[in-house]
Structure 1
Amino acid sequence: MVEKSYQTPCGAIHYWTNHFKSGRATLVFLPGLTADHRLFDKQVEAFKEKYNVLVWDAPGHATSWPFRFEFSLMDKARWLHEILEIENATDVVIVGQSMGGYVGQAFTEQYLSELQGFVSIDSAPLQRNYVTGMELWLLKRMEPVYRHYPWKALVNSGSKGVAVSTYGRELMREMMLVYEGNQDRYAKISGHGFKILAEAMEADLSYKLPNNSLLICGENDKAGSCKRYNKAWHKQTGIPLEWIKDAGHNSNTDQPEIINALIEKIVSAI
């Protein structure tokens, strides 16, 4: 995998690709809030010899810094689209975990015809009808919570809360420790992320997904109301939903072989 960068008006986005080959499907891996490209190490390793693979550090995250927090969820999707155009990506399948799944839905709103598949990993729907007014109100006011939460306790609860496996927990801890000594940055990343998520929901757009889509959720996912959202998402849309045993919010790190097999099914359906 080769590290590259793309300059936006707010800063440079760093991303990684293998050597793209024409005629191959392109898997785009989008990590969740405060996580970085390493979240998908097990997926990159599994697919990099077979497909074109791209994974990024989202704006403001890890190596994609410094970055001004003056962008929306739609901006992130547009920048991703511009990166994919530069790379001449074809047969694109987006695999988004948590916040990455929201970015993927913002992408489908603008470029649905260019997407061949979509996999949501422990994410939730962007449509307004799934959330309450109180939930939106809270999402816009999360930054102070992360700024004043004791750092060691935050790292401990954050890493243990998203995964059940030793690998998944240790990986999340490593990714959180990128921000050690700069909790304000961590709080800003989190607060801004939740704020633009709420704004995207309030936009009340269709966020229609491609027919070749899949919802994945860990049976032990304790992040917010993720399990409730996925049940409703599946019920209202009919999109297949796979529950992953012995997996938390980062189910792709807890059960990578199962997740990889599910991703492979989506790609094979192109």
Structure 2
Amino acid sequence: MKENTYRTSCGTIHYWSSITTPNAITLAFLPGLTADHRLFERQMEYFDGKYNIFVWDAPAHASSWPFKFNFDLFDKAKWLKEIFKREKITNPVIVGQSMGGYVGQTYAQLYPDQLSGFVSIDSAPLQRKYVTGFEIWLLKRMEPVYYHYPWKLLLKSGSNGVATSHYGRDLMRKMMSVYDGDQKRYAQIAGHGYRILAEAMEKNLQYEIKCPALLICGMQDHAGSCIRYNKAWHQDTQIPLKWVEGAGHNSNTDNPELINDLIESFLKNIQ
């Protein structure tokens, strides 16, 4: 994987890619909020040499810092499109975990005919109808919660709350530890992420997925109402939904073998 950078008006994005076969499918892995590119290390190991691969540290996350917090989900999708163009990625399959799935849906809204596939891992639909007014209100007010919460307790609850496996919890702890000594930055990343998510929902757009898609959700995912959202998302759209028994919010770290199999089967069906 080769590390590259892309400069925006808000800061510089760091990303990694391995484009060995031009015009072939590229798996574009988009990590969730406060996680970084390491979230997908088991997927990158498995698919290396089989498909083109792309992954980033999302704006303001990990190595993509310093970064101004004056961007929204649509900016992230536009920057992603520009990076794809630079890297000659013409057949992207976005694999988005949590916040990464929201970026993928925004990308589909802006560029509906330029996605070869979409895989949502423990994410949820962006349409306004799925959330309550109180949930929107709460999303906009999370930054102080993360700022005032004792860091050691936040580190413990943040890592244990998203994964059920030792590997998944340890990995999340490592990714959160990037912000040791700078809880303000961590709170800004989390608070800003939830805020731009709420703002994207308030736009009340279609966010229709027109390409082949797959929903994946851990059966022990207790992040918000992810399980309820995925059930409704599947029922309304008929997008296939796969449950991962015993997995939490980061199901790709709790059961990477199953997730890799699901992604690989999905790719074979769309080729």
> The TM-score by the shorter chain falls in which range?
over 0.9
Name the counterpart of 1:239. 239
* Offset, 1:187: 0.1
The question of 1:132 aligning with 2:105 is answered no
Name the counterpart of 1:47. 47
Name the counterpart of 2:105. 105
* Offset, 1:115: 0.3
Q: Which runs of 5+ in 2 are unaligned?
A: none
What do the CA deviations read for 1:34-73 (whole angstroms, capped 9, x no partner)? 0000000000111121111000000000000000000010
Question: Is the 1:28–1:94 contact (alpha carbons within 8 Å) kept by the matching residues of 2?
Answer: yes
Name the counterpart of 2:253. 253
What do the CA deviations read for 1:103-140 (whole angstroms, capped 9, x no partner)? 00000001110101000000000000000010000000
What do the CA deviations read for 1:148-187 (whole angstroms, capped 9, x no partner)? 0000000000000000110000000000000000000000
Q: Which runs of 5+ in 1 are unaligned?
A: none
* Offset, 1:266: 2.1
CA distance in 2, matches of 1:107, 1:94: 9
Write the mapping of 1:22-37 to structure 2, written as runs, cut at 5 A. Answer: 22-37=22-37
CA distance in 1, matches of 2:64, 2:74: 18
* Offset, 1:83: 0.3
**Total equivalences in the alignment:** 270
CA distance in 2, matches of 1:119, 1:212: 9
SS in 2 for 1:194: helix
Name the counterpart of 2:200. 200
CA distance in 1, matches of 2:231, 2:19: 38
Partner amino acid for 2:136? Answer: L
- Normalising by structure 2, we get a TM-score of 0.98
- Normalising by structure 1, we get a TM-score of 0.99
Write the mapping of 1:103-252 to structure 2, written as runs, cut at 5 A. Answer: 103-252=103-252
SS in 1 for 2:198: helix
Give the 4+ runs in structure 1 shifted more than 4 A: none
* Offset, 1:262: 1.0
The question of 1:88 aligning with 2:88 is answered yes
Question: Is the 1:168–1:254 contact (alpha carbons within 8 Å) kept by the matching residues of 2?
Answer: yes
CA distance in 1, matches of 2:40, 2:29: 7
CA distance in 1, matches of 2:211, 2:265: 13
Question: Is the 1:118–1:210 contact (alpha carbons within 8 Å) kept by the matching residues of 2?
Answer: no
* Offset, 1:9: 0.3
